[in-house]
Structure 1
Amino acid sequence: MVAGRGARLLAVVLTCGALASPIPAAAQDGEVVIGPGVSYRPLQLSTAHGPVLGHVVTVDLSDPNAKLGLLHPGSVAAKGEIADQTNAAGAVAGVNGDFFNISEEHPGVVPTSSSVGPEIAGGEALKGAVPDGQRFGPALPEGTSDEDVFAVGIDGRARLSRLSVTGSAIWPGGAVDVEGLNQYALPVDGVGAYTDDWGEVSRARSVCGTDTDRSAPCSTATEEVVITDGVVRSETDLPGAGPIPDDTVVLVGREAGDAALEALDPGDPVRVSTALLPADGMPLSFAVGATPIMRDGTPIPGLDTAELAPRTAAGIGDDGRLVHLVVVDGRSPVSTGLNLAETAGLLADLGATDAVNLDGGGSTTMAVRTPGTPLATVRNAPSDGEQRPVANGIGVFTR
């Protein structure tokens, strides 16, 4: 059984922000094998602050028939319900992923629904991370960044990594670094590239706020350059909107980035390159933005011990070969939710040595397709009373 490799409990006792020893008699209750190397089961937790209900999907990545991948609604700047994303991708299970641009403080600017952190799907870099000060979600624990990801390397093992955008735009007589990729917010003085992966949503949000203040006014020093088949097709002062053809790259610059792009005119040849660079050097087949809460068996210092909320999290064990995807409900009499320290403790008791926190609250959702059923359905009770459309998620795939 998959659960025999460390994922061994369904009932635990939470006290003083830490997990007590598992209760072996409760192990395996309600477990269902939903595919090769993949199992699903409910959780019932008894805590000092009340009962907590949850769900866990365990994935054995050493099984060649089981893998993880990015769920997303087809464009970076889009959102969809997790059950729909799971079924559209043909996954047997899925949970919601990263925090995202859910609201907007700038008059006349619409939320993009784009995620905060990086995304890689099928080895393809879809987007980079916004500056830390532009993020949505709770404050980052010390030593973490919006560039942190939960990922699977090309070696087939899950891991925590960090991804930074590297790139350039080069033309005769000039060049500029490209510091953003399909992001709802660009660094001050920066230039970002937008591709057909972005979608149709306006790129106006990309030049609003600053690296330290998400609500700061939008920049007035901006430039957008449209490059088709390596040649400048047009240039304008303001970021535009609409679909981007697959033979086209749109560059958006602000402040110093604006000044650099002002040198370009229609007809100029430009070579644009972008990539996501993993800090540990391991190329990744899949990545989603996530906040580390445990590394090498040790919780990240300063994890919150007060706020109880619905949580979505992922844990890694057995040297990257075992993954636990966990959701717990909250904000109700039957399930109080967990704080971050308790969430890390739960994943540790499941056998994880590394773990991340994902978007929680009303976004927390798990969908599972059990054998003999045509579609994945929602297993938890979303605190909004219904599924919240989200930017992305983690999908579990079998063959």
Structure 2
Amino acid sequence: MPVPHRAHRARRTGAGVVVALTLALVLDAPGAAAADPTLDLGAAGLPEARTTQVLEPGVDLTQVVRGSAPAAPDAIETTVLGPWRVAVLRVDPRTAKGRLVATYGPDLARTETTSDLVASAGALGGVNASYFTYTKNPAYPGDPVGLGLYDGHLLSEPGATSTEVDVLLDARTGRVRFGRTSWSGRVRNTKTRKSLALERLNTPPVVPKGCTKLKDPRRCTRSGDVVRFDRAFAERTPKGRGAEVVLGRDGCVVRASKSRGRRLSAHQTSVQATGRQTKTLLRVGKKGACLRTTSTLRDDRGKTVELAKGLYGVAGRYRLVQGGKVVVKDKPQAFFERNPRTLVGTTASGVVALVTIDGRQTTSVGATLEEAARVAVSLGLTDAVNLDGGGSTTMVVGGRLVGSPSHGDERAVGDALVYVPR
């Protein structure tokens, strides 16, 4: 998507479209890459070429090529000779003057290339970030899969799978936390006290089987979904069977309907329901009623996370490194095989590293999850999480691609982590 969205996003920074992350980060100071050990990849003694470019004080780009001769196409999965191409964008908050930020484009539902997201944010560089629905929901391909928390606004609830690892970033204190989070939400009629549990945020609800052809959705007796939508998701909410109530700025119902799909103005939100929850929503959210929405995020200790301005969160799949040690092991599954990888990690010295490993190519064979974790340790990371990879893996610096996406062309993605100069 073209760059003219930049001014639009800048006006919406407070709403979380471009999110400042003041981080306590990690590797040794940028610029010291020459002292780094070789990568723990493949056979010992492979030739390794490493170049480092200082982009500005506290920010550098290191590119590593390990191995020399191109791999045979049928040996990409098994070769111990490589080659591998790894790029590391490092930011030291002790000296860097800019900000590491997250941007998801004009709304949550659409996708853009990493290059477009970097350019429209006015960023020096960045990488793709979260997993997103992609082909699962072609109408809303950018819908995040897992936690999406932007400047205190929770726009996507944590995933239910044990493989999700959430990264909480507090811009007020610089504290970074890795772990699982959980969420619960509810809408309650302030007058009657009748309430309904929320099941998701900004994700199209599913109509239960057997209820897709009912003329009156209130007749469905099977359990469905209850989902809250923000204008940040999309200008128009998903269409379909069920019910929807639209709430004004004050939380009072301005429209209640036995169908779904409405255009929301800047300060409106809505709640959609399918299945037997349809009838309940229409009772709780009659036109003119006022609803109070609660949304509670908890960390892995069960402690409530305050959804305050300055707090951000994204989700990855699988923790790679914890306490400086590899904590993931490869399994005989496609996800664990050699693929392009994008990582985010921190080290004890206060630098953040955004890492990409090109893959599925004879010029860079990619990494299994365990190999990616060993790369992270080689780079000095004490904690690291695997972000979206495969065809999504992309790094852009100075308006140019660093390395090459596995499909040749960039894949449009849901969001990106980028560094914006002061």
- Could you give the per-residue CA deviations for residues 251-306 of structure 1, whole angstroms, max 9, x where no partner exists? 01234533421313212222224354444656563322212222222333444476
1:58-207 aligned within 5 A: 58-63=90-95, 65-104=97-136, 110-132=139-161, 143-145=162-164, 148-153=165-170, 154-171=172-189, 172-173=191-192, 174-184=194-204, 189-200=224-235, 202-204=237-239
Specify which of 345, 350, 363 is matched with residue 379 of structure 2. Answer: 350
**Quick one: distance in 1 between partners of 2:274 and 2:324?**
42
Are the equivalent residues in 2 in contact too, given 1:101–1:114 (CA < 8 A)? yes
Specify which of 230, 253, 265 is matched with residue 251 of structure 2. Answer: 230
Moved more, 44-53 or 85-94: 44-53
Matched, 1:253 2:259: no
Aligned residue identity for 1:289: A
**Quick one: distance in 1 between partners of 2:417 and 2:403?**
16
The residue aligned with 2:24 is none
Specify which of 289, 294, 304 is matched with residue 315 of structure 2. Answer: 289
Aligned residue identity for 1:260: T
Matched, 1:269 2:290: yes
Are the equivalent residues in 2 in contact too, given 1:230–1:271 (CA < 8 A)? yes
The 1:92–1:162 alpha-carbon spacing in structure 2 relative to 1, beyond 3 Å, is farther
Specify which of 54, 59, 62 is matched with residue 33 of structure 1. Answer: 54
The residue aligned with 2:30 is 3
Aligned residue identity for 2:265: P
Moved more, 184-193 or 41-50: 184-193
**Quick one: distance in 1 between partners of 2:325 and 2:45?**
17
Shift of 1:379: 1.1
The 1:121–1:377 alpha-carbon spacing in structure 2 relative to 1, beyond 3 Å, is farther
Aligned residue identity for 1:121: Y
**Quick one: distance in 2 between partners of 1:380 and 1:175?**
52
**Quick one: distance in 2 between partners of 1:200 and 1:49?**
50
What SS does the aligned partner of 1:50 have? Answer: coil
CA RMSD, aligned part only? 3.1
Shift of 1:240: 1.0
Specify which of 402, 405, 408 is matched with residue 379 of structure 1. Answer: 402
The 1:343–1:304 alpha-carbon spacing in structure 2 relative to 1, beyond 3 Å, is farther
The 1:180–1:104 alpha-carbon spacing in structure 2 relative to 1, beyond 3 Å, is closer
**Quick one: distance in 2 between partners of 1:247 and 1:4?**
46
Given the two structures, how large is their TM-score scaled by the length of structure 2? 0.75
- Could you give the per-residue CA deviations for residues 323-344 of structure 1, whole angstroms, max 9, x where no partner exists? 1111111111111111110001
What SS does the aligned partner of 1:235 have? Answer: strand
Matched, 1:307 2:307: no
Given the two structures, how large is their TM-score scaled by the length of structure 1? 0.79
Structure 1, unpaired ranges of 5+: 133-142, 206-219, 370-375
What SS does the aligned partner of 1:331 have? Answer: coil
What SS does the aligned partner of 1:239 have? Answer: coil
Shift of 1:116: 0.5
The residue aligned with 2:13 is none
Matched, 1:395 2:412: no
**Quick one: distance in 2 between partners of 1:8 and 1:122?**
37
Structure 2, unpaired ranges of 5+: 1-27, 68-78, 208-222
Are the equivalent residues in 2 in contact too, given 1:82–1:94 (CA < 8 A)? yes
The 1:271–1:151 alpha-carbon spacing in structure 2 relative to 1, beyond 3 Å, is closer
The 1:353–1:117 alpha-carbon spacing in structure 2 relative to 1, beyond 3 Å, is same
The 1:33–1:201 alpha-carbon spacing in structure 2 relative to 1, beyond 3 Å, is farther
- Could you give the per-residue CA deviations for residues 213-255 of structure 1, whole angstroms, max 9, x where no partner exists? xxxxxxx6x322111232222223333154x223211101234
Matched, 1:54 2:89: no
Aligned residue identity for 1:177: A
**Quick one: distance in 2 between partners of 1:62 and 1:196?**
36
The residue aligned with 1:373 is none
Shift of 1:118: 1.7
The residue aligned with 2:214 is none
Moved more, 228-237 or 272-281: 272-281
The 1:303–1:323 alpha-carbon spacing in structure 2 relative to 1, beyond 3 Å, is farther
- Could you give the per-residue CA deviations for residues 335-387 of structure 1, whole angstroms, max 9, x where no partner exists? 11111100011001111111111111111100112xxxxxx221120111111
Percent identity of equivalent pairs: 26
Are the equivalent residues in 2 in contact too, given 1:194–1:251 (CA < 8 A)? yes
What SS does the aligned partner of 2:355 have? Answer: strand
The residue aligned with 2:41 is 14
Are the equivalent residues in 1 in contact too, given 2:37–2:379 (CA < 8 A)? no
Shift of 1:195: 0.9
**Number of equivalenced pairs:** 355
